């Protein structure tokens, strides 16, 4: 569980009482609870970035009742993944290959729903893989694409916990649910998890950068091309990704990227699909102030566009 300023993320209080957020007040600790899992024996823990948020203290509570202080190694808001470190030796999970998932195969969700059973055995729910490659519009600066959908019951408090296959391998990280009633926070059998292959990519990046200012803002959102979209844009192929949304005043917009542009290269590397674009960006270990060069197809012409990466706005 974590402790944070109770009003820190409330925009209502921010606009009327900005002096409360400059560090001159005594904060009242407020606990919030999520789940996580050890990915290595030397104490690295993965959870959702939205679980740790702006925590002032992070405690890892074990099933045997023991508690350990944890340090935040780094976090990636865009992918909603955070990496923690606990001192000691611990049993760890084994990752499965999320690219090999089959719709209909078993899915097992572990976690701590509603924070009811801290310092106790995790709750286990079972379902199936309902779908893969689910994409969502950006939410609070986070991008959820290629998500795993499952009907295994996931509730508040499960965020950050593992989603496993029948062999006990972690294939995803439980992240959010959809509810039928806006007033309800319970599961209706539509939950989503970040795929394990992306988790591993982001974790390696977080270990390398160690707190450097990499909360970069690009401000464009892309998707795979299909024959219909390619034809509507006059593009003679389905290789590449097309720009489906731009943030106002973002680095991408300032650099001249336009809706409907088709990106075929990033920093000289070919982009054939969304997976390519994601892998290239993750491998670049981009930081605030870096430049990124795009080659885009627009109305029959190839253009080169240089973006200057900015820090994600608060």
50 catalytic, yes or no? yes
- 289 shares a domain with 234: yes
- 205 shares a domain with 221: no
Q: Which of 209, 230, 257 is the last residue of a domain?
A: 209
Distance, CA of 199 to CA of 306 (rounded, Å): 28
Which residue range is the domain that position 51 belongs to?
A: 2-85
**3 state SS of 272:** coil
pTM > 0.85: yes or no: no
- Tens-binned pLDDT, residue by residue, of the chain (314 aa): 455 444 344 443 333 344 444 444 444 455 678 899 999 999 999 999 999 887 888 999 888 888 999 999 988 888 899 999 999 999 999 999 999 999 999 999 998 876 666 666 778 999 999 999 998 876 666 888 889 999 998 877 788 999 999 999 999 999 988 765 555 555 566 899 999 999 999 998 888 776 555 567 898 989 999 999 999 999 999 999 999 999 999 999 999 999 999 999 999 999 999 888 887 887 777 778 889 999 999 999 999 999 999 887 76
Q: What is the pLDDT of residue 43?
A: 94
CATH of the domain at 124: 2.40.10.10
Determine, yes or no, domain membership for 93.
Answer: no
Determine, yes or no, domain membership for 92.
Answer: no
Q: What is the pLDDT of residue 154?
A: 85
Which is the catalytic residue, given 32, 35, 50, 276?
A: 50
Determine, yes or no, domain membership for 91.
Answer: no
Determine, yes or no, domain membership for 293.
Answer: yes
Q: What is the pLDDT of residue 274?
A: 86
Which is the catalytic residue, given 35, 79, 159, 187?
A: 159
The 8-class DSSP code of residue 273 comes to S
Q: Which of 85, 119, 146 is the last residue of a domain?
A: 85
Structural tokens at position 160? 């950050």
Determine, yes or no, domain membership for 81.
Answer: yes
- 236 shares a domain with 184: no
DSSP secondary structure letters along 146-207? SEEEE-S---TT-TT-EEE-TTS-EEEEEEEE--SSTT--S--S-EEEEEHHHHHHHHHHHH
Which is the catalytic residue, given 32, 76, 79, 80?
A: 80
């Amino acid at each position: 569980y974590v402790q944070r300023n109770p009003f820190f993320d409330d925009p209502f209080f921010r606009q009327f009482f900005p002096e409360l957020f400059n560090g001159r007040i005594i904060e009242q600790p407020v606990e919030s609870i999520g789940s996580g899992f050890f990915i290595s024996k030397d104490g690295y823990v993965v959870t959702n970035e939205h679980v740790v948020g702006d925590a002032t203290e992070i405690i890892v509570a074990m099933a045997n009742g023991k508690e350990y202080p944890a340090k935040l190694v780094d976090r990636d808001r865009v992918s909603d993944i955070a990496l923690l470190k606990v001192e000691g030796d611990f049993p760890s999970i084994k990752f499965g290959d999320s690219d090999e998932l089959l719709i209909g195969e078993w899915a097992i969700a572990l976690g701590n729903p509603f924070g009811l059973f801290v310092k106790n055995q995790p709750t286990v729910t079972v379902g199936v893989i309902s779908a893969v490659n689910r994409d969502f519009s950006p939410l609070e600066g986070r991008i959820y694409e290629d998500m795993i959908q499952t009907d295994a019951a996931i509730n508040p408090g499960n965020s950050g916990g593992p989603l496993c296959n029948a062999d006990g391998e972690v294939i995803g990280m439980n992240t959010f649910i959809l509810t039928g009633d806006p007033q309800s926070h319970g599961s209706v059998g539509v939950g989503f998890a970040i795929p394990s292959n992306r988790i591993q990519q982001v974790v390696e990046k977080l270990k390398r950068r160690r707190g450097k200012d990499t909360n970069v803002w690009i401000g464009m959102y892309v998707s795979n091309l299909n024959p219909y979209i390619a034809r509507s844009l006059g593009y003679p192929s389905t290789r590449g990704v097309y720009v489906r949304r731009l943030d106002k005043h973002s680095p991408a917009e300032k650099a001249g990227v336009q809706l409907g542009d088709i990106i075929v290269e990033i920093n000289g590397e070919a982009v054939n699909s969304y997976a390519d674009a994601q892998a290239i960006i993750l491998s670049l270990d981009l930081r605030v102030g870096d430049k990124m060069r795009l080659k885009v197809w627009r109305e029959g012409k190839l253009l080169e566009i240089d973006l200057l990466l900015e820090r994600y706005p608060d």
